[in-house]
Structure 1
């Protein structure tokens, strides 16, 4: 292991554990943002937990839920409910606006909402592509069931299994449950790798990675657990060049992210059909 990244607690209307970007490391492969959302539940008759419409450029968002549900709406006119096990992949490219709200049935039943939201930075030759959206239902995401290891291949290829999720650069994203005494060596040559411990504790050599921490791995890393753990393995091929982040914008130049902020403030983005409330650009 080369680096241990602790979580930072953020309040975005509900509590999230933010792992990337970190002052210790901006990104792993294309992953430039990783939030563990919840677990949380929300009172009926309120809008707590709703994220009003807001813009993105230069990235693709990946939403993956463990429990609960969310309703996605965007400026392309897409309306999509996401439920546990499914993947929502929204490619912002030159610019997209979306909202994420709790469905009424989830709010009324006080169902626990929990999941992982990540951003994938786009390669520089694709950061200005047309925006797009793809939904992959849970039954389309392939499962793994091996001795001591079970889980799912969310993005990329592992254990001889390929995910149908298509990304702009080579990416690996796995949801794995390791049994007691498990011993797993990730084998993804030429890819940067990290592991997030969702539940339990793992060890890599003499290093312990506690619950809710990220460990950045080297190519010889072997993941072990005594009592079992749930982990997210993520990474991919390194992206060339620098990336700059301003609020919800990612780009290969400061001018692009600043320009996107001005564009949002001046009403230059297409908005979500039927929605009127929106999040202003934060004051820096």
Structure 2
């Protein structure tokens, strides 16, 4: 029977939004290109309230926001202004310098709303980490789905399960949403060298071992593994090729070279950074 490394996430609060963060952790700094994983817990915002992450910088990564419930507005220094709803992908590549905001749209803020979703960061390969920034939005119906025998797999980004997402990832990646009905099974193929499973909801077993909800389970390389559902279940699979070298993380910056981070910190502190049009608020260096 395989032995799995299990990561219990730490609880955090991001501008009033409660989250669980299993990555990075002492047990694993990355899984494929994934260096950061936030589960935005179900939160009911009363009228007049909502999530509001003001202008902040990034380098050397791509952010991917994926919602199960609610809506967010994405704005960035490229001029993007996009509403993002459930099942849609908001994909932003930072390159050498980008700034963005994410907030509850004004109409939902006025009436109150519920928010639930995931945000992950994927480290860019060295050849792209100082490149140009970009943004793309991918509607829910553009993401490929396999639906058979009570198991539904949606490829959020990358490839796997004979599916390929249109999201323009920069290295071999798998990011799949999995829904399983009670008493169903799914074979997780050995398609990517590094993989991890995050259980969102339900009673699941992996190779006969019980998985706790809100745990990130690192999967051994080179093995196809059987996932079983003892109730209706919801999970995501992340992973891909190993990073092309270690990454440093400091605040919102990811880089292969400490000097790139120090330079980015100095530029943000000095106000020498691209700005989001018509936005004046910003988050200062911690």
Please classify the TM superposition score into its range, dividing by the shorter chain length. Answer: over 0.9
Which of 101, 105, 108 is the equivalent residue of 2:107? 105
Query: Taking structure 1 as the reference length, what is the TM-score of the superposition?
Result: 0.95
The 2-side partners of 1:242 and 1:55 are apart by 21
> Does the CA-based 8 Å contact 1:41-1:107 persist in structure 2?
no
Q: How does 1:43-54 map to 2 (within 5 A)?
A: 43-46=46-49, 48-54=50-56
Residues 93-140 of structure 1, C-alpha deviation per residue, up to 9 Å, x if partnerless? 101000001112222332211100000001111111100001101111
Name the counterpart of 2:250. Answer: 246
Following superposition, the deviation at residue 157 of structure 1 comes to: 2.5
Equivalent residue, structure 1, for 2:277: 273
Please, which of 31, 36, 45 is the counterpart of residue 28 of structure 1?
A: 31
Partner of 1:170: 172
* Alpha-carbon separation, structure 2, partners of 1:183 and 1:177: 11
Matches within 5 A, 1:75-86: 75-86=77-88
Q: CA deviation at 1:236?
A: 0.5
State the partner residue of 1:135. Answer: 137
**Other-structure match for 1:89:** 91
| 8 Å CA contact 2:92, 2:136 repeated in 1 | yes
Q: How does 1:210-221 map to 2 (within 5 A)?
A: 210-218=212-220, 219-220=222-223, 221=225
2:44 to 30, 41, 45: 41
Displacement after TM superposition at 1:259 (Å): 1.7
Shift of 1:190: 4.2
Q: Contact (CA 8 Å) 2:48, 2:111: kept in 1 or not?
A: no
Contact 2:24 2:30 in 1 (8 A): yes
Matches within 5 A, 1:117-156: 117-156=119-158
d(CA) in 2 for partners of 1:233 and 1:180?
19
Matched, 1:203 2:205: yes
List runs of 5+ in structure 1 lacking aligned partners.
none
Q: Structure 2 regions of 5+ residues with no counterpart? A: none
Query: Deviation string for 1:1-30 (max 9, x for gaps)?
Result: 531011111011210111111111111000
